[in-house]
Amino acid sequence: MKEGILWHSLNKEEVLSRLKTSLAEGLSEEEVQKRQEQYGKNILTQQKSTSPFILFLLQFHQPLIYILLGATAITLYLGEYLDALVIFGIVFINAVIGFIQEYRALRAISSLAHSMTPEATVIREGKRHRIPAQELTIGDIVWLEPGDKVPADLRLLSIRDLQIDEAPLTGESVPVPKKVTELPHQTLLADRSNMAYSSTLVTYGSGIGAVVAIGNATEIGRINQMIASADILATPLTQSIARFSSLLLYVILGFAILTFIVGVKRGNDIFDMFMASVALAVGAIPEGLPAAITIMLANGVARIAKKNAIIRKLPAVETLGSTTVICSDKTGTLTQNQMTVQEIIAGGWHYTVTGVGYEPIGTFQINGEEACIRENVALEECLIAGLLCNQSNLIEEAGAWKIEGDPTEGALVVAANKAAKYRENYLNLLPLLDTIPFESENQYMATLHKVLDKPYHVIYIKGSVERILERCNLELLPDGQIQEINRQKYFEITNQMAKKGLRLLAFAYKHVPNTQQEITHYEVAQDLIFLGIQAMIDPPRPEAIEAVKICKMAGIKVKMITGDHELTALTIAQKIGIVGATSEQELSQKVINGSKMSSLSDEELIAVTQKVAVFARFAPEDKLRIVRALQANNEIVAMTGDGVNDAPSLRQANIGIAMGITGTAVAIETADMVLTDDNFATIKDAVEEGRGIYDNLIKFITWTLPTNFGEGLVILAAIVANTTLPILPLQLLWINMTTAALLGLTLVFEPKEPGIMERKPRNAQEPILNAVLLTRIVIVGVLLCAAAFGFFYELQEKGRSVEAARTIAVNIFVVGELFYLFNCRVLSSPLYKIDFFSNPILLIGAGAMFLVQLFYTYVPFMNQAFHSEALEFMDWLFIVGVGIFIFWVIEIEKGVRYRVVKKRNSKEKEVLQ
């Protein structure tokens, strides 16, 4: 087959000629075999992926892990086996968790391969066969019937009322009526009505098409390739941690080398100085940081799961808190994916219909007041026409209402049910005799019904407003009288309704003699009596409106990307609050369609994405371009979606969010987060959790680094002073591991600070620690170093043993960190601004830490293992005094800064007012 052929632009004869096939006979078995050898099977090729072993090894490819592995190797070489085992255990656990998460993510393409239809009906050698879909080849003639999944990309050659649901591929919210005539070359994918695409669903009618693409060459196959080519971006957290770890690596190595050089130049033994350098490195490495990050993120995953969201990749939790743009699919995500009649014009009266979705509960209102349906004969007849000129049914399954058939027809059934008019009852009163099915060329459908005990039958017809009005001379009035119709009046009304993005259907009727048992197009060509218009839309989710509002308040931009037409998309965007109520000219600048977008260069698109809020009539590659353009502007992009067409952009986005109920397996497997209730509002809760997790992570880092910095200073000071080390490497490891486990990790449970959703998203390019926090870390580190170093040598001067002096130094660090932990519960204001007892786990951890230090100090086997010694009561007074002193120094510093910032903010508000 020749590549690049625009099959939709060829007529039927050209298609058959180029494919060298026959509509009646199909391919011969011999030709099928030749083509299968040439084109291969109709399956999606599995992409080559990283082997599990390499994927596991890549978990160690992080600067912070390099430091820990280096420490493991050195301590192992020096015979410090316990130290080496503990450090490597931390690294290994983190690697296992990361491997499990990433391995699951790589199953997306495998899921996509299984989404192709297992069987297809094909014509070969003039006979119909049911064969495995993978056996299809180019030129095969395929039959399509309701319920079929299209097995390959087809150029349609013959149809009967064929409608196909293309929402998984294009995002179109209603089934697309198909036709066979050729289309212009430049016709967009979503508008190629003479094509049927692999993995879309036949909802109505039947058709025959020729296979023009199989496997990887299909549209879904191209999406498969895009999933593979989409970049898997590092999250803001992993990027920040990588930068932070790299800096930390250089600082630690620098201090260790400086320690070694200074010691050797002062005449110390080279081996002793090497040991001292190792001690400094062990002390300066925050061994608990990787574990703390993993546990914090995992705990966040558990909390978010309680709010109906499943996080598949741990760093995605924090990415939510950094998100600056949410790109959302419309159908089924922001809207309910349930067409709903919202307005009716009947007998010249304009009704609003309440209720949303398929649940048949609602009222009919005029000017906000409930109206009596029986007061308007035209309204009753309009609802009956929608009910009977219809081939869909409303059913209830497990408490949920569903439509069997076309969603648009389903909306008409629901509207009639709201008026207590039911299809089964009316079919008994008005039995169906004949039908003219809907065809896109005619733009209408008609049904003939027997009227019991009457000398006439009735024809009901529904279709486009233009086609129905041109056939009507009269209209039915509310009192049952008939008058001449004013077509212009209805055209003006419908133009206003269309501007709201509503889908319009007009209804009419006609009486014919009761001898007539069938109808033709001739009977409905003229002399119809107009009944009214029903206007419907796929309504927005009410909770989505509130979620968008909160996201905007949090500084997050929301953009809609949809396969629907511009007007429909813009209307929904206005209702949800994505686009504000502005002039028509301003509104036109807020929306762009796929055709215009395809003409833009990448540079032009980058500028456009900053201004446009609604992207309509897209193709899958358009969505991918939009996400990449936003990322080029340093935006942190969250992409929501549920269809196959969303998968590449879900993978490309910083965080992909799939719908768990309506989402395809491909979208779910590709995404970082899955909403189990398909509720857009759940994203708001997840963003809030993400921000809280990042806050607590910063609190942990701000809390843990003074220990590492202070320990490094102690070792360096000892070398410079040419004296005994105040703390041994094993004791340093004890401090780091026990405080991280019993103190630091309790910050995981710190409640979210007030006003967390009123902040702007943090800049992902900013360092993890700002100047204020770095200053605080230095202050606490220096105070810990000075206290530990000072008391260590004072005790030795008084004749106490080196073990006792080291035990005091260790406890100064632990108790100092314990008191400093309370400072870190809130970083930007004094501690009294929050509820002291709001984190009981932290209070328990502080108590446990103190007990563990008593165990470390007074239990004989601990004294032997860690070279510690029992202390006197007065020693503890000094130790606790240091902790209290550190606490108040930081509280005073925070209090001063808090008042300065508050005063500055007050002045800024006065200026703005």
DSSP state of 766: S
DSSP state of 247: H
Distance CA 902, CA 895 (A): 10
Residue 697: partners with Cβ closer than 8 Å, 6 or more residues away: 237, 292, 293, 296, 318
Torsion of CA 844, 849, 851, 857, to 10 degrees: 180
| Assigned token pair, 608 | 């456009």
Q: Which amino acid is at 639?
A: M
Distance CA 259, CA 628 (A): 47
DSSP state of 333: I
Distance CA 875, CA 878 (A): 5
Instruction: Identify the CA nearest to 576 among candidates 553, 554, 543.
Output: 543
Residue 820: partners with Cβ closer than 8 Å, 6 or more residues away: 703, 706, 780, 883, 886, 887, 890
Instruction: Identify the CA nearest to 323 among candidates 697, 691, 756.
Output: 691
Residue 66's H or E segment, with its range, is: helix 63-77
Q: How many other CB atoms are there within 10 angstroms of residue 196's CB atom? A: 27
Strand partners, 561: 329, 615
Is 329 marked active-site? yes
Distance CA 518, CA 510 (A): 14
C-alpha triplet 743, 748, 749: angle, nearest 5°: 100
Q: Which amino acid is at 579?
A: V
Strand partners, 333: none
In DSSP notation, 873-898 reads HHHHHHHHHHHHHHHHHHHHHHHHHH
Distance CA 221, CA 43 (A): 9
| Assigned token pair, 267 | 């005449």
Distance CA 543, CA 566 (A): 23
Distance CA 478, CA 373 (A): 10
Give CA separation, 313 vs 105, 318, 354, 553, 663, in Å: 8, 10, 41, 27, 18
Relative to beta strand 432-439, strand 444-450 is antiparallel
Q: Exposure of 666 by Cβ count < 10 A (0-12 exposed, 13-18 middle, 19+ buried)?
A: buried
Relative to beta strand 482-484, strand 472-476 is antiparallel
Relative to beta strand 528-537, strand 456-463 is unpaired
Catalytic one of 83, 165, 191, 329: 329
Q: Residue 308: helix, strand or coil by DSSP?
A: coil
Give CA separation, 408 vs 114, 296, 357, in Å: 30, 47, 12
Catalytic residue annotation: 329
